[in-house]
Amino acid sequence: MIINKEIASKILRDYIFITGTFDINSKYFKKRIDEGIQNSHLNHKTNVYGKHTDWTFFARDPQFQTILLQLIDHLETLDVPLRKFTLAEAWGIRENFGDYTRKHNHEPHYLSGVLYLNDHPQKLYFPEINQEITPKSGRFAIFSSFLQHKTKRNIKHKSKYAISFNLRNVTIAENL
């Protein structure tokens, strides 16, 4: 074997990371997640080592869509070039005692997000950008999908509820 060049390095990359809070009906969303995880085949089988609804469980939910539209309105005010995107999936999670989220990203999606439904000490960590989020009811984050993120194990005997979602690029063919 002859190797002519090998480079292992890092480059700077533009990204989006926004956090904020919505006034939400968390009771409604938590009830829907509890219903959705009953019939899910994804529990403990994804990067979320916890309970997980189907991938598109909240994609057509009117209350979630109202929140998402407000986020999109804000994104469109940013002074950065945005690609065209659409909602790909939105799912609910519940992490009980001992559950956690493995380090991962959401590529090949464009933007991803999370909406927390209750206060909880189990933080979400973004090690590449040195950011963390402590869940509070209505707190959200929207971020570039290539950003790695994770949680540590839930060591409280209290469930953490959230809705995660992905926005994907719209291709030219889809616009025709």
CA distance 115 to 19: 10
pLDDT band with cut points at 50, 70 and 90 for residue 7: confident
Per-residue pLDDT tens digits for 90-107: 999 999 999 999 999 999
Counted residue by residue, the chain has a size of 176
d(CA 74, CA 62): 19
Please give the pLDDT value at position 168.
95
Domains and CATH numbers, the chain: 19-171 (2.60.120.620)
112: closest CA among 41, 162, 49? 162
Q: What is the pLDDT of residues 35-75, one digit of tens each?
A: 999 999 999 999 999 999 999 999 999 999 999 999 999 99
The 3 state secondary structure assigned to 120-138 is: CCCCEEECCCCEEECCCCC
Query: Which tokens hold the place of 166?
Result: 């992905």
Q: What tokens does 83 get?
A: 């690609």
Give the model confidence (pLDDT) of 133-168 as tens digits. Answer: 999 999 999 999 999 999 999 999 999 999 999 999
Query: CA torsion 67→104→98→131, rounded to 10°?
Result: -70
